[in-house]
Amino acid sequence: MSKLIKKTALVGGGVIGGGWAARLVLNGVDVKVFDPSDTAERTLKEMLANAELAYSKLTMAPLVKQGNIEFVDSIEKAVKNVQFIQESVPENPDFKRSIINEIAQFAPESALICSSTSGIKPTSLQTKMRHPERFMVGHPFNPVYLLPLVEICGGEKTSDAAKQSAAEFYRNIGMKPLILRKEIDAFIADRLQEAVWREGLWLIRDDVATTEELDDAIRYGFGLRWAQMGLFETYRVAGGEAGMRHFISQFGPTLSWPWTKLTDVPELNEELIEKIVTQSDAQSGMHSIRELERIRDDNLVAIMQGLKLHDWGAGALLKEYEERLYEKAHSGIVASDPDFSEPLRLHDSQVRPDWLDYNGHMTESRYLQVFGDTTDAFLNFIGMDENYRKQGFSVYTVETHIRHVCEVAGGEPLSVKSQLLGFDEKRFRIVHEMFHPPTGDVLATAEHMLLHVNTNKGKACPFGKILYEKLAEIWNEHQNLDIPDYAGKGFQELNKN
């Protein structure tokens, strides 16, 4: 079911609801939003703008066409005819319960309903709702559009099938679903965060450290380890060659030492609150919230991109997400029965803000990226998918010639048509023509020669049957097309062989 989910509703459009909206829209999912606040639409659109900027840096994979976002004035209008609802209203159990009951009253019976609550047990929220088996907690982390973890916690009446469907949907939009084995207050991650938070309150109250010093201890120390390895794997490494058993034997006895005050809680009185607020203002008051969000997003993108280089943790998840983006970008663009009597329209894109140079035009490297994405789409179309590559074969670009014809401004749409210029048993030559869909103006062209390679041996080899037959099918028609006057002579030499 979740693979088909394209219509969703968000009830509550604050920091968390807005983050959900951004992640869904940027993954091609249509969203209807209900939030009675007068500022909800403005702040949500500001958050979406930040998310678009973050995604432009997060991945080079072609993003899917954005979903539509619609603001409505009632819960009934929001949840009607949708397949998935995410509730993100304030953490008041009675208020949440009434909102969830109203959602369930008007939502289709088959729609999944998830709450973003950070600590309330789902059993207490589903007691009087219609069809409680499709309700659960889907607890995200801010910013929702970047941080991949979502904790799924079902209540006593939640079906396993509903939890699995929700997990699959979250996974398809680039998240890491963690299904809890047992229902518990505050779930897993927030219980860990709460422990650090409580100890931090004592350290501030007792003037051991300021808010900035506590944050420094985390971000320059164990926070970096946690970001890529978590808690227990980090401690396993700390145990040396003997591993976790040695770590526990060495440091386990310290648990009985009076290091922590976690068994006690400081009174959050006005004096302590004022101390925290004053220190926090001194630490970060020079930045607006929007500026801090962008700084945070840039840092998270950099960490995830760094981890991706090593195929580790959140970076490995990002890599999988990018592969799905490429698959989506390369599928469904060409009709199932394409007309090979014309060049193939394989790739559509848009000039992102970070693609611009100091003149406000698309920089040279991005032309190559768009043409490279088009070549990838062509390779996928002729059958060079992941399964083909797993057999130890790929196609490498060995020659490229790009012509820059017109300037391209930010936000402008791009489309590319591709024409096969010739092929033999190991090579093919192709030309791409980038154009501006509203006007039809040619913006740039690129000619490439590609070589089929046995990746295990690092040597050229004949095309596999599926690729060769598809190239032959395309060439049967494309050989009748006019050769562009700017095309190089290489295709003529190729066709002589």
* Binding-site residues from annotation for NAD(+): 12-17
Q: How far apart are CA 23 and CA 105, in angstroms?
A: 26
Structure tokens at 325: 């983006």
Reference 331, options 318, 343, 347; nearest CA is 347
The 8-class DSSP code of residue 84 comes to E
For residue 236, give every residue at least 6 positions away whose Cβ sits within 8 Å of its Cβ, in sequence order, or none: 243, 244, 247
Strand (E) positions, 57-103? 69-72, 84-87
For residue 220, give every residue at least 6 positions away whose Cβ sits within 8 Å of its Cβ, in sequence order, or none: none
Angle at 82 (CA atoms; ends 78, 87), nearest 5 degrees = 55
For residue 183, give every residue at least 6 positions away whose Cβ sits within 8 Å of its Cβ, in sequence order, or none: 121, 122, 123, 153, 154, 155, 156
Reference 327, options 61, 67, 59; nearest CA is 61
Q: How many CB atoms lie within 10 A of CB 92?
A: 11
Ordered alpha helix ranges (H), 145-288? 160-172, 189-205, 211-217, 223-229, 232-238, 243-251, 270-284
Expressed in percent and rounded to 5, the helix, strand and coil fractions of the chain are 45, 20, 35
Contact indicator for 126, 155 with CB cutoff of 8 Å: yes
For the chain, how far is it from start to end, CA to CA, in angstroms?
51
Q: Extract the annotated binding site.
A: 12-17
The 8-class DSSP code of residue 338 comes to -
Angle at 9 (CA atoms; ends 7, 13), nearest 5 degrees = 140
Helix or strand holding residue 16 (H, E)? helix 15-26
Q: How far apart are CA 333 and CA 376, in angstroms?
A: 13
What single-letter amino acid sits at 186? Answer: A
Q: How many CB atoms lie within 10 A of CB 69?
A: 20
Angle at 376 (CA atoms; ends 371, 378), nearest 5 degrees = 95
Structure tokens at 191: 């219980």
For residue 267, give every residue at least 6 positions away whose Cβ sits within 8 Å of its Cβ, in sequence order, or none: none
